[in-house]
Amino acid sequence: MHSFVELIARKRDGLPLGSSEIRGIIEGFSSGAMADYQMSALLMAIYLRGLSEDETVALTFAMLHSGKVLSLPEVPGVKVDKHSTGGVGDKISICLAPLVAACGVPVPMVSGRGLGHTGGTLDKLEAIPGFQTSLSTEEFARLVKELGTCMIGQTKDIAPADKRIYALRDVTATVECIPLIVASILSKKLAEGIDGLVLDVKVGRGAFMKNVEAARNLATALVRVGTSAGKKVTAVLTRMDTPLGLTIGNANETREALEILHGKGPADVLACTMLLGKEMLMLGGVVANEAEATKKLEAAISSGRALETMARMVAAQKGDARVVADPSLLRMHSAEVSITATRDGFVTALDALELGLSGVAMGAGRNRAEDSVDHAVGIELHQKVGAQVRCGDTLAVLQLRKASDADKVKERVLAAFTIADEAVAEGPLALERIVSR
C-alpha cells in the first residue's frame, strides 16, 4: 500500500488507482488516518482527471462498505427503489413508494433533505404532523416487510464516508463531477438492500444537469456502475425546465402527492409517477410489459389500495394518518400574496431554478445543511406553460408567515414567468431511457 500522498500524486498525474488502493483511501479517511485536506486535494484531482468505470465501481463499494449494508432477506420479492437527481416541485417519491408497494413490489426508500434550489422528500414528509424519518435499520427492515415500503433518512450507519465526503465536496467546488456523483448516489442506494433501482435523471434549468448530454453521461455512468454492482438499473431522463405540479414548498407538495393517490392531482405529477412506476414494476418482475404495468398502477389507485398502503406507512412512522384521507389538513401559512400578470399573452416559460431559489429565500429550503425549513411556506402556481393569461390575472400565490416576507421574492417570482404573444407547446416529459446492458 502506497502512502496517501503517493496515491493523491498518482491521480493528480492521471494514473489509475487500483481497487485495493481506493478501499485503503476510504478506510484511511474513515479511521482518520487520511485528513480532510488530503481528501479534498484528491477530490479536486478526481474532478480534473476523472475516474474510470472500474475506479468508480471500486469507490462506490468502498463508500458502501464504510457503513452498514442491509440485505433484507426477510422481505420476499424483487426490492426496487427510485432515486431522483433533484428538481423543483419534485414530490414524486411520496406517492410513488406506496403506489408501487401496493402493486406488490417492495420499496425500501432512503431519501434526502433539500439543499440548494431543490427540495427533499424528508422535509416534505415531515410536514405530516408526527411523521418520523429517523428509524433504526431494524425498524426500517421490519416495516418494509410488513407494509411493502418505508421512507427514512440516511442513518449514520449508512455510507458514513459518503456523508463526510459530500460535505467536503460542497465546500471545495467538487460537487459537479460525474464519478463522484455516481459513487455518492449508489453507495447510499446499494446500502438499502435493493435488487433494482430506477433513476430519474432530471435535465434542464431546474436540474443539476443543465443539458441532455451531461444528463445522459450521468445516467449512463449510473446504469453501468449499478449494473456492475449486480443490480438491475433503469434510468430515465426527464425534463426539469418548469416545476413539477402546481406547488413548491413542503406541506403543499405532500398534499399534491397525496392527491395523486386519490386519483386527482396535476397531470404532469401523475405522468411522472406513472412513468417511474411502470419502470419499477417491470424491474420488480410483477408485470410482463408496460401496458400491464399501467393497468396495475391505475387499479392500485382506483381501488384505494395505494392510499391504504400510504395510510398504514404514515401511521407506522408515527405520523397523523388523517392527512392521508384528507390532504387539505396539510395547511400552509394564511398570509397570501398574489403575483399577477403585467400583460396579456401566453405563458411560454416558467423558470424552475428561479422559483426553487425563491422558495429557499422564503424559508421552504436550505442554503446550508444545518438550516431548518418552514413546512408551511410555499408557492402555488395558478398558471403553467401554455396558459393564456390577461393582464391582472393571478399567476402564482405566495404563502407566508406574514405578507411583508413576500417583498424580497415577488419580483423574482414574477420574472420567472415569460409571457409572449404566441403560445408554445411544451416538450415531452421523458427524453431518453437507458437500461442495463
Minimum distance from residue 213 beta carbon to a second copy (Å)? 18
Name the site residues for a second copy (rule: CB under 8 A): 4-6, 8-9, 12, 35-45, 47-49, 168, 170-174
**Is 169 tagged catalytic?**
yes
1 or 325, CB closer to a second copy?
Answer: 1
Evaluate whether 192 touches 108 at the Cβ level (below 8 Å).
yes
37 or 391, CB closer to a second copy?
Answer: 37
Nearest in space to 226 (alpha carbons), one of 62, 53, 65: 53
**Is 162 tagged catalytic?**
yes
Q: What is the DSSP secondary structure assignment for residue 118, as one 8-state letter?
A: B
Helix (H, G, I), strand (E, B) or coil at 269: helix
Minimum distance from residue 374 beta carbon to a second copy (Å)? 25
The one catalytic residue in 10, 11, 79, 83 is 83
- Angle, in degrees to the nearest 10, between helices 178-190 and 160-171: 150
Cell of 167: 460535505
Alpha carbon dihedral 98, 93, 82, 429, in 10-degree steps, equals 120
The one catalytic residue in 162, 195, 268, 374 is 162
Cell of 261: 393517490
Minimum distance from residue 171 beta carbon to a second copy (Å)? 6
Helices (H), 1-76: 4-12, 19-31, 36-49, 53-64
183 or 300, CB closer to a second copy?
Answer: 183
Minimum distance from residue 156 beta carbon to a second copy (Å)? 21
Evaluate whether 287 touches 281 at the Cβ level (below 8 Å).
yes
**Is 358 tagged catalytic?**
no
Evaluate whether 366 touches 356 at the Cβ level (below 8 Å).
no
Nearest in space to 432 (alpha carbons), one of 178, 222, 117, 176: 222
Helix (H, G, I), strand (E, B) or coil at 433: strand
Please state, as a whole number, how many other Cβ atoms lie within 10 Å of the Cβ of residue 431: 16
9 or 329, CB closer to a second copy?
Answer: 9
Q: What is the DSSP secondary structure assignment for residue 331, as one 8-state letter?
A: P
Minimum distance from residue 367 beta carbon to a second copy (Å)? 11
Which residues share a beta bridge with 349? 418
Q: Which H/E stretch holds residue 223?
A: helix 212-228
332 or 353, CB closer to a second copy?
Answer: 353
The one catalytic residue in 84, 184, 187, 358 is 184
The one catalytic residue in 10, 188, 202, 312 is 188
The one catalytic residue in 169, 189, 312, 384 is 169
Minimum distance from residue 19 beta carbon to a second copy (Å)? 21
Please state, as a whole number, how many other Cβ atoms lie within 10 Å of the Cβ of residue 267: 10
**Is 188 tagged catalytic?**
yes
Q: Which residues are catalytic?
A: 83, 162, 169, 184, 188
